[in-house]
Structure 1
């Protein structure tokens, strides 16, 4: 029989996979079919701590469940694929869960777990991955930047006063967008110091969406010059750009 699943987090990885996060325990294979997406396989996160990896054919609708990743014991909250160029050994996929645990993966015919960053008990609600840097947003309003290859924390920002619900990265520039329940959207710029290899963060812009708990925010172009925002009980999408 078919099953209904509450999924959180979806990302295309490895050129042909779609990963979907599931917030609870995996109970076997599900028949799944649908129109063939334009992009290859995709990981999906679920409420049972499993990540379902679907293999997407170049043509046709023969989508198959390729693999189930079960390294996390708490509900999956978000999944992100590499938006830039991953350094050697850094992997190209990160998954996050309710306990704040991050798992770093290398995609392929079989997905390989490269490392696990333990949680601190605070939910990691949103993640992004760019040039081997993991940006993670948490329920306490913090953004933490991790080195994907080593799992070392490189920076910690007290970015928002309340729960962060959205992160996005502009692949061409390294701009980071964050949106939270405190009604604010911030734009940051990530870069590496060529002399020390340190990760540097610059605050670029702040926008207050009045009387709105921001629950979604995305850049609209690869350079991060424009972005769109929405919020709870908001029936519209607000777009921002240069004056």
Structure 2
């Protein structure tokens, strides 16, 4: 076990650099502030066009922005919830880009349904309405949690996973989904889902989805989950990050990373950097690796960043190498950018 608090790591088992690795860069203005939702930021890098796209949710709308490498905003588009049945106000719960083998789609989830757009948000290509059921029911129907898994787009709806089929694996609402391609197996991918009780389910995707293992919760919601080289990183409402073996569900490392609830995790797949952001105003970056002799997971604390007086609600790396990241905060009308020193 290793431990850290909002000021940085205290446990001698966590290696820590002697210098700052990131510095604040030019912010990107928003038309509306970010909503207080977990994982409320999605980033898509377009190297061929020298652009980066950002997606942020604000109530019934999502803002899709494009920016140059220096942070100069170039264009902004507002996407709204499609009209549908129901008496409750429509709100978007998440916006996320899904990178498929031959296509990139922008996916919005809401209390109304699932909307899929071309990557720039210009054209809606698919709309899936949620069945609101009996209006007198006290159970809310919504979609939340998005991931691309092979040729599939996986979206959480209530306690189940909506794919080309519906997979029942959770007893409480699903909060997040993460997926990673299986090397050397085309069209196959590992996927992990998290829920409000803290339980995790690990799946093998393909023509048929198979539940590989179930990791029991401990009564604390898991708000965000990531998957990298067989390592599951799960962020919880008590500020902890747990690192599990995906194949066995074994807990290898517990990091007391934050003083308040974690709202977002992200991974830079090329280098194994893990980003954690929480309501305590801090963003931490960790380096994951495996000991070549024992095969055990090891963690190094790389950087800590405070966003003063801000309830952070979204954070994501802006490139696969983890050389830059962006942050959103509740009632903050800008996207904060940080780049390597």
Alignment partners' CA distance in 1, 2:304 and 2:232: 22
Alignment partners' CA distance in 2, 1:21 and 1:99: 24
User: Partner residue of 1:51?
Assistant: 161
Alignment partners' CA distance in 1, 2:100 and 2:272: 21
1:21–1:43: 8 Å Cα contact kept in structure 2? Answer: no
| Residues 1:83 and 1:41: Cα distance change in structure 2 (over 3 Å) | closer
Alignment partners' CA distance in 2, 1:212 and 1:193: 37
Alignment partners' CA distance in 1, 2:335 and 2:301: 24
> Which residue among 106, 125, 128 is the counterpart of 1:35?
125
Tell me the CA shift for residue 76 of structure 1.
0.8
**Cα distance per residue 1:99-129 (max 9 Å; x no partner):** 0010001111221111110111110010000
Aligned positions of 1:191-230 closer than 5 A: 191-230=289-328
2:175–2:194: 8 Å Cα contact kept in structure 1? Answer: yes
Deviating runs (4+, > 4 A) in structure 1?
Answer: 2-18, 20-24, 30-34, 83-87
User: Partner residue of 1:103?
Assistant: 201
Alignment partners' CA distance in 2, 1:11 and 1:112: 24
Alignment partners' CA distance in 2, 1:135 and 1:172: 16
2:108–2:114: 8 Å Cα contact kept in structure 1? Answer: no
| Residues 1:181 and 1:209: Cα distance change in structure 2 (over 3 Å) | same
User: Partner residue of 2:256?
Assistant: 158
Higher relative contact order (CA 8 A, sep 6+): 2
Aligned positions of 1:1-243 closer than 5 A: 12=98, 15=101, 34-35=124-125, 40-46=151-157, 48-53=158-163, 66-82=164-180, 85=183, 92-243=190-341
Q: Which consecutive unaligned segments of at least 5 residues does structure 1 have?
A: 25-29, 54-65
SS at match of 1:105: strand
1:141–1:180: 8 Å Cα contact kept in structure 2? Answer: yes
Comparing both structures, which one devotes a greater share of its residues to strand?
Answer: 2
RMSD: 3.4
Tell me the CA shift for residue 35 of structure 1.
1.2
2:283–2:304: 8 Å Cα contact kept in structure 1? Answer: yes
User: Partner residue of 1:56?
Assistant: none
Q: Which consecutive unaligned segments of at least 5 residues does structure 2 have?
A: 1-83, 117-123, 127-147
Structure whose alpha-carbon radius of gyration is higher: 2
Number of residue pairs matched by the alignment: 222
Alignment partners' CA distance in 1, 2:331 and 2:184: 37
1:21–1:51: 8 Å Cα contact kept in structure 2? Answer: no
2:108–2:115: 8 Å Cα contact kept in structure 1? Answer: no
SS at match of 1:92: strand
1:179–1:217: 8 Å Cα contact kept in structure 2? Answer: yes
Alignment partners' CA distance in 2, 1:77 and 1:31: 15
1:160–1:184: 8 Å Cα contact kept in structure 2? Answer: yes
